[in-house]
């Protein structure tokens, strides 16, 4: 059922893999391979002649799931597991980890016992029948496979790192060609020294779609005597996602003194899932960084304070630390002017 449901929801499966930390270029093929692996495991578990191999495959898949879920939970991240595609989808939690661990234990029990009724040898019996040379070859093959997997993982990360360096180098070259200075923005790109609008200048108006299908503007966010903090985020930005739990808390704790709105982008469903997970409100979506460009925001996560008189009240706060500091000052009424 899980395999068929994932096959019918390939976009959701791809999104889930990205949320779990799989690089976006690999998410689509891995989503298909995962679906095919689950279907193959289900098929081989049914006949007694192949049940042992099905149990081995199930154990391997479930251990991978347990490791991925546990790693994200330790980091405080609860991605949408989409374990059964569109049939059932919920943020991964400790109950998800326990369920997969219990299923892995069941698969491990089948592997340990081997076939029942003489349909085939147990794993221990099969290993006992191997000669020393065959056993050494089996262990060597497993080591080689592990080393190859580690090599490809390191290669992938090197390619991604080189890609980021090339993007930054290109931006540096363009800035130097135009005679400007550069600095690193929170998402790793290079940005010009003119980031941010001058303090006291009029805050650019905007009207963007929200997650409910309506439109939210700067004017509709205004409340007498309350500043507005615009937080620029992106679902593909790791530091942004790590900050979202605190953003939901800020919106509740400082609601009487500060209006906090998120200027995000990307797909509505992905942003709605994050909003539901962290209790976020006032989330709007820009299509092509148009509001970021209007406020001269170069990276994510970043924040800008708009004063009650509709003027820019802060420089661009880039990165989690600067944003936390800006939120704290704004909530205490320590405005720039």
89 contacts 82 by C-beta, under 8 angstroms:
yes
Query: Domain residues of the chain, as ranges?
Result: 2-128, 130-180, 193-331
Burial of 122 (0-12, 13-18, 19+ CB in 10 A): middle
**CATH architecture of the domain with residue range 193-331:** 3-Layer(aba) Sandwich (3.40)
Measured in Å, how far apart are the chain's first and last C-alpha atoms? Answer: 60
Give the separation between CA 197 and CA 312, rounded to whole angstroms: 7
- The 10s digit of each residue's pLDDT in 299-336 is 889 999 999 999 999 999 988 889 999 999 998 887 65
Q: Which of 20 and 120 is assigned the larger pLDDT? A: 20
Dihedral pair phi/psi, residue 257, rounded to 5°: -115, -15
pTM of the model: 0.48
The residue-averaged pLDDT of 118-147 equals 62
- Whether omega before 301 lies within 30 degrees of 0, making that bond cis, reads yes
Mean pLDDT of 169-182: 51
Instruction: State residue 201's pLDDT score.
Output: 93
Helix, strand, coil % (nearest 5) of the chain?
A: 55, 15, 35
**DSSP 8-state assignment for residue 22:** -
Indicate if the pLDDT at residue 117 is higher than 50: no
pLDDT of 223 over the 90 cut? no
Tokens of 281: 């409100």
Q: Which residue has the higher pLDDT, 117 or 275?
A: 275
pLDDT tens figures, 209-221: 999 889 999 999 9
d(CA 116, CA 45) in angstroms, rounded, equals 13
When pLDDT is cut at 50, 70 and 90, the band that residue 20 belongs to is confident
Which residues contact residue 290 at a Cβ distance below 8 angstroms, ignoring those fewer than 6 apart?
Answer: 206
Residues in the chain: 337
What average pLDDT is seen over the chain? Answer: 78
Q: Is 258 exposed, middle or buried (0-12, 13-18, 19+ CB in 10 A)?
A: buried
Q: Is the CB of residue 325 less than 8 Å from the CB of residue 301?
A: no
- Predicted pLDDT at 57: 84
């Amino acid at each position: 059922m899980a395999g068929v449901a994932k096959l019918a929801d390939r976009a959701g499966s791809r999104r889930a893999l990205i949320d779990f930390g799989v690089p976006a270029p690999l998410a689509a093929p891995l989503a298909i391979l995962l679906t095919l692996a689950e279907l193959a495991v289900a098929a081989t578990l049914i006949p007694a002649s192949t049940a042992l191999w099905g149990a081995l495959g199930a154990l391997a898949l479930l251990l991978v799931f347990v490791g991925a879920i546990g790693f994200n939970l330790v980091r405080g991240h609860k991605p949408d597991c989409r374990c059964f595609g569109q049939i059932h989808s919920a943020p991964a939690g400790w109950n998800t980890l326990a369920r997969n661990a219990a299923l892995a234990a069941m698969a491990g029990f089948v592997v340990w016992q081997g076939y029942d009724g003489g349909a085939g040898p147990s794993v221990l019996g099969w290993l006992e029948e191997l000669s020393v040379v065959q056993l050494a070859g089996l262990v060597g093959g497993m080591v080689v496979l592990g080393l190859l997997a580690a090599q490809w993982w390191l290669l992938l990360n090197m390619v991604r790192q080189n890609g980021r360096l090339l993007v930054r180098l290109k931006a540096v070259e363009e800035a130097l060609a135009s005679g400007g200075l550069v600095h690193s923005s929170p998402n790793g790109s290079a940005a010009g020294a003119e980031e941010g609008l001058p303090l006291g200048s009029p805050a650019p108006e905007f009207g963007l779609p929200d997650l409910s299908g309506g439109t939210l503007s700067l004017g509709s966010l205004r409340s007498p005597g309350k500043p507005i903090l615009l937080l620029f985020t992106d679902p593909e930005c790791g530091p942004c996602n790590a900050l979202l739990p605190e953003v939901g808390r800020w919106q509740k704790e400082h609601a009487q003194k500060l209006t906090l709105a998120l200027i995000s982008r990307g797909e509505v469903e992905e942003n709605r899932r994050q909003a539901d997970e962290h209790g976020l409100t006032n989330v709007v979506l820009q299509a092509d960084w148009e509001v970021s460009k209007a406020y001269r925001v170069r990276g994510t996560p970043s924040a800008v304070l708009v004063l009650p008189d509709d003027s820019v009240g802060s420089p661009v706060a880039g990165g989690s630390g600067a944003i936390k500091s800006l939120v704290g000052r704004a909530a205490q009424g320590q405005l720039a002017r």
